[in-house]
């Protein structure tokens, strides 16, 4: 089978007007029937992504709200240590507000937990402050009622049981005078 000369060509390479015997343009051939590789003139389209599956949901960062609630719950019994409840309560409040900030930015979805941490943390702080006031007031009253003299007497008594009993009797007498009531010692004590 002999192919016809490509368009724009005048014939074979041994043309009389071309002494070197080479053609100035290389011969071009039409594509085979069905195109190259069986795909026609263009490569196949890339595969399409699956439809119906949107972008994966963003992971929620709920750790601060949960931490606020846990620390706030710990601040309530720690309020009995006075300073522990104050420190843990303030920490819970700060963590709770940071958790609420994440909720407002859409990074978390546990706003109620963060608010509970704030409220319970504030309760822990309040309880600690009340206990501090009670301790200071009671301490002053105790010292006014003769508590300082009682501590000095007990320190001077050392391990002497008789001297300790005498200190207790003197302190009990001051309380009876102050409040106008009589205290009875417990049996065996």
pLDDT, one tens digit per residue, over 75-88 is 999 998 878 899 99
Domain presence at residue 137 = yes
pLDDT score of 189 more than 70: no
pLDDT for residue 31: 61
- pLDDT tier, 138 (very low <50, low <70, confident <90, very high otherwise): confident
Domain presence at residue 44 = no
Domain presence at residue 188 = no
Domain presence at residue 16 = no
Total domains, the chain: 1
> Which is higher by pLDDT, 133 or 15?
133
Structure tokens at 94: 């700060």
pTM for the model stands at 0.54
On average, the pLDDT of the chain sits at 79
Domain presence at residue 89 = yes
Q: Which residues are bridge partners to 40 per DSSP? A: 35
Q: What percent of the chain has pLDDT over 90?
A: 33
Domain presence at residue 184 = no
Q: By residue range, what is the domain housing residue 153?
A: 63-179
Can you give the C-alpha Rg of the chain in angstroms?
47
- pLDDT tier, 120 (very low <50, low <70, confident <90, very high otherwise): very high
Other Cβ atoms less than 10 A from the Cβ of 145: the count is 16
Domain presence at residue 133 = yes
Domain presence at residue 171 = yes
The residue written with tokens 């992504």 in the block is 49
Say if CB 88 and CB 71 are below 8 A apart.
yes
């Amino acid at each position: 089978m002999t192919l016809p000369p490509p368009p724009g060509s005048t014939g074979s390479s041994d043309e009389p007007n071309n002494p070197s015997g080479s053609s100035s343009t290389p011969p071009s051939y039409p594509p085979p029937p069905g195109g190259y590789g069986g795909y026609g003139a263009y490569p196949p389209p890339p595969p399409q992504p699956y439809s119906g599956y949107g972008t994966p949901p963003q992971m929620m960062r709920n750790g601060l709200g949960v931490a606020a609630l846990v620390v706030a719950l710990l601040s309530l019994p720690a309020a009995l240590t006075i300073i522990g409840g104050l420190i843990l309560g303030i920490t819970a409040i700060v963590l709770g507000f940071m958790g609420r900030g994440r909720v407002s930015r859409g990074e978390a979805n546990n706003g109620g937990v963060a608010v509970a941490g704030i409220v319970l943390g504030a309760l822990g702080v309040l309880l600690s402050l009340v206990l501090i006031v009670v301790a200071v007031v009671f301490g002053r009253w105790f010292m006014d009622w003769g508590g300082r003299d009682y501590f000095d007497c007990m320190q001077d008594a050392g391990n002497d049981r008789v001297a300790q009993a005498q200190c207790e009797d003197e302190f009990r007498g001051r309380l009876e005078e102050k409040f106008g009531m009589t205290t009875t010692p417990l049996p065996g004590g």
